[in-house]
Amino acid sequence: MWKNTELTISDYTEKKPKGTEKNKEKDKIEEDKRREKARIEIAEAWDNIIFAQILRGLVLVTQSIFRKNILLPFLIIVKNIIRILLFQFPEWSEDLKDWNREMHIKCTYNGEKPMNIPATRNDLMVVNMGPHHPSMHGVLRLIVTLDGEDVIDCEPILGYLHRGMEKIAENRTIIQYLPYVTRWDYLATMFTEAITVNGPEQLGNIQVPKRASYIRVIMLELSRIASHLLWLGPFMADIGAQTPFFYIFRERELIYDLFEAATGMRMMHNYFRIGGVAADLPHGWIDKCLDFCDYFLTGIAEYQKLITRNPIFLERVEGVGIIGTEEVINWGLSGIPGGPYENLEIRYFDREKNPKWNDFEYRFISKKPSPTFELPKQELYVRVEAPKGELGIFLIGDQGGFPWRWKIRPPGFINLQILPQLVKRMKLADIMTILGSIDIIMGEVDR
């Protein structure tokens, strides 16, 4: 019966009407709109029913309680029983963690999370500054409580640079310990070395030769200038005056050149020794030092133009961080040299002959041996006026090679105590100005 059937190939293909796909998309969109409109009408009608919201809330709460307290625990138990029957390890801990994380989000009628209405904040805000901060002086952390831009409270958090310097001293001889002390205040290393050797010298009644005393005083004062320069440059940069930073570092490098010529190191000198210094000054060093002093006096005039008459500097520092005399005494603060130099001869520039220095006061220490003191033999406290304040050591000897007790009194740690009081009722931007004016080094604060 298939004999008369002919197979023919036709080029005819059924043409789909144009716009069919677009029509389907439009129909789908319209269907979604109708369903959404129906949901909205049902929700509005539901809202108009008395006690409808309360009833709906009870249903949701019941559903939530049933799911978390009945359904999920039942499924967890069944699952782990099956795992035990199949000789597999149960997963109680993982399932309990998932069960504890079970939470339910309140949704609107169309399944979208409701938008929170922003409200004005009336509570205080706590901000962490540091320990790693572009303007922070070392690894110091400040927990600052703010009311807008006003500082309500400030809590310094220390210890990020603690290295146990006091305990190390009790397990080393003085010569072994000297390289460590330059890491306290690494910007005024000569002072940390001086206080380290002064204690054993006074404890053992060791006399320092006159020439060594002169060299020590020169090195200490150069170190003081270098430390103040490295405070002034970054401090000006913190408050917005960047230009003096480069001028100040120019003079600082000249001082480090003198240190390198005398000690072999630009920093971490390890130059002081019990009873003197490690080596005498090289030939021609005194002349270079005097040349630097003459040059540095002329450089101070540049600082006066760049800093004391700078409107940015005056705007940032006037009336900020003021400490009264009574507060200085109560907090035990210290600053510029006072004690060790009271027995040294001091002379001043004649201001009438040098009118351009009217805003500055210079003191020159004459060549006179360092004073000695009658102190207890086995227990004493020695101090030196470092650039940042009084640096002291409480030392107890026990006739052995190691100190029995070595307690450091760093000026930065003492001066930092008043920071919370100074920044209260100030603006947030004033914190770095006040902190920079205290001039702390975290190496000596944390020790």
pLDDT tens figures, 341-378: 544 444 333 334 444 434 433 333 333 333 333 334 57
Alpha carbon distance, N-terminus to C-terminus of the chain: 110
What one-letter code names the amino acid at 247? Y
Please state which of the ranges 22-26, 77-81, 333-337, 399-403 shows the lowest mean pLDDT: 333-337
Does 240 or 273 have the greater pLDDT score?
273
Q: Is the per-residue pLDDT at 82 higher than 60?
A: yes
Structure tokens at 47: 């809202």
Q: What percent of the residues of the chain are helix, what percent strand, and what percent coil, each to the nearest 5?
A: 50, 10, 40
Distances (CA, A) of 174 to 133, 178, 205, 210, 376: 36, 6, 15, 22, 19
DSSP-assigned beta bridge partners for residue 150: 147, 427
Write down the H helix ranges in 4-114. Answer: 20-48, 52-66, 72-85, 92-100
pLDDT greater than 80 at residue 110: no
The pLDDT score that the predictor gives to residue 350 is 38
Least confident span in 9-13, 48-52, 330-334, 379-383? 9-13
Tokens 């010298």, residue located: 201
The whole-angstrom separation of Cα 88 and Cα 316 is 71
| The predicted structure's pLDDT at residue 378 | 74
Domain spans of the chain?
A: 40-111, 168-417
Q: Strand pairing partners for 153?
A: 145
pLDDT at 410 over 60: yes
232 Cβ neighbours under 8 A, 6+ residues apart: 244, 248, 303, 307
Cα Dmax for the chain: 140
pLDDT at 135: 57
Question: Which of the two residues, 79 and 401, has the higher pLDDT score?
Answer: 79
- pLDDT for 164 equals 86
Q: Where are the alpha helices (DSSP H) in 87-209?
A: 92-100, 165-169, 174-181, 189-203
Mean pLDDT along residues 154-172: 86
**What is the per-residue pLDDT for 175?**
82
DSSP secondary structure string, 318-378?
A: TTSS---HHHHHHHT---S--STTTTS-EEE--TTT-GGGTT---EEE-S-PPP-----SS
What are the pLDDT digits (tens) for 193-212? 888 888 888 877 888 888 88
- How confident is the model at residue 343, as a pLDDT? 46
Q: Please check whether residue 408 is in contact with residue 390, taking contact to mean a CB–CB distance below 8 angstroms.
A: no
pLDDT of 375 reads 37
Residues 6+ away with beta carbon under 8 Å from 115: none
Cα separation, 394 vs 424, whole angstroms:
33
- Residue type present at position 372: T
What b/e string do you get for 269-299 counting C-beta neighbours within 10 Å, with b at 16 or more? bbbbbbebbeeebeeeeeeebeebeeeeeee
Lowest mean pLDDT among 143-147, 319-323, 412-416: 319-323
The pTM score is 0.62
pLDDT of residue 359: 41
Instruction: Using a pLDDT cut of 90, give the percent of the chain over it.
Output: 0
Which residue is associated with the tokens 């600053």? 335
Place 274 in a pLDDT band, splitting at 50, 70 and 90: confident
Say if residue 167's pLDDT is above 70. yes
Above 80 in pLDDT, residue 330? no
Other residues' Cβ atoms within 10 Å of the Cβ of residue 130:
20
What are the structure tokens assigned to 144, written together?
Answer: 């600052």
**Residue 142 pLDDT > 80:** yes
CB atoms within 10 A of CB 259: 20
Residues 442, 156: Cα–Cα separation, whole Å: 12
pLDDT for 349: 36
Convert the pLDDT of each residue in 9-37 to its tens digit. 444 455 555 556 667 777 778 888 888 88
The CB density around residue 257, as the number of other CB atoms within 10 Å, is 13
**Which has more confidence, 166 or 323?**
166
pLDDT confidence of residue 51: 66
Q: What is the mean pLDDT of residues 38-53?
A: 70
168-417 fold: Cytochrome-c3 Hydrogenase; chain B (1.10.645)
